[in-house]
Amino acid sequence: MLYISHLYVLNTNLFVSGTSAFTAKYNKIVLVDDVRFTDVLYNEGNDYNATTGVFTCRIPGIYWFSATLYGSSIGYCYFLLNGMETIYITFHNDIGTVSEVFRLKHGDRLQVGNCSKRMSSDGVTSFSGVLVKADE
Which pLDDT score, from 0 to 100, does residue 81 have? Answer: 97
Q: Which residue has the higher pLDDT, 121 or 76?
A: 76
Tens digit of each residue's pLDDT (9 = 90 or more) over 86-130: 998 887 767 888 899 999 999 999 999 888 876 666 667 889 999
| CA pair distance 40, 24, nearest whole angstrom | 4
Which pLDDT score, from 0 to 100, does residue 27 have? Answer: 63
Grouping H, G, I as helix, E, B as strand and the rest as coil, residue 14 is helix
Is the torsion defined by CA of 114, 85, 75, 51 positive or negative? negative
Which pLDDT score, from 0 to 100, does residue 45 have? Answer: 95
Half-sphere exposure of 10 (CA within 13 A, CB side): 0
Which pLDDT score, from 0 to 100, does residue 7 have? Answer: 42
Structural domains of the chain, with CATH: 2-8+21-134 (2.60.120.40)
- Tell me the Cα Rg of the chain: 14
Please state the rounded mean pLDDT for residues 32-41: 80
Please state whether beta strands 84-92 and 126-134 pair in parallel, antiparallel, or not at all (unpaired).
Answer: unpaired
| CA pair distance 65, 24, nearest whole angstrom | 12
For the chain, the residue count is 136
pLDDT above 90 coverage of the chain, percent:
48
| Mean pLDDT computed over every residue of the chain | 81
Of 22-26, 51-55, 57-61, where does mean pLDDT reach its minimum? 22-26
| CA pair distance 92, 133, nearest whole angstrom | 33
Which pLDDT score, from 0 to 100, does residue 62 have? Answer: 97
Record the pTM.
0.81
**Can you say how many angstroms the Cα of residue 136 is from the centroid of all Cα atoms in its chain?**
24
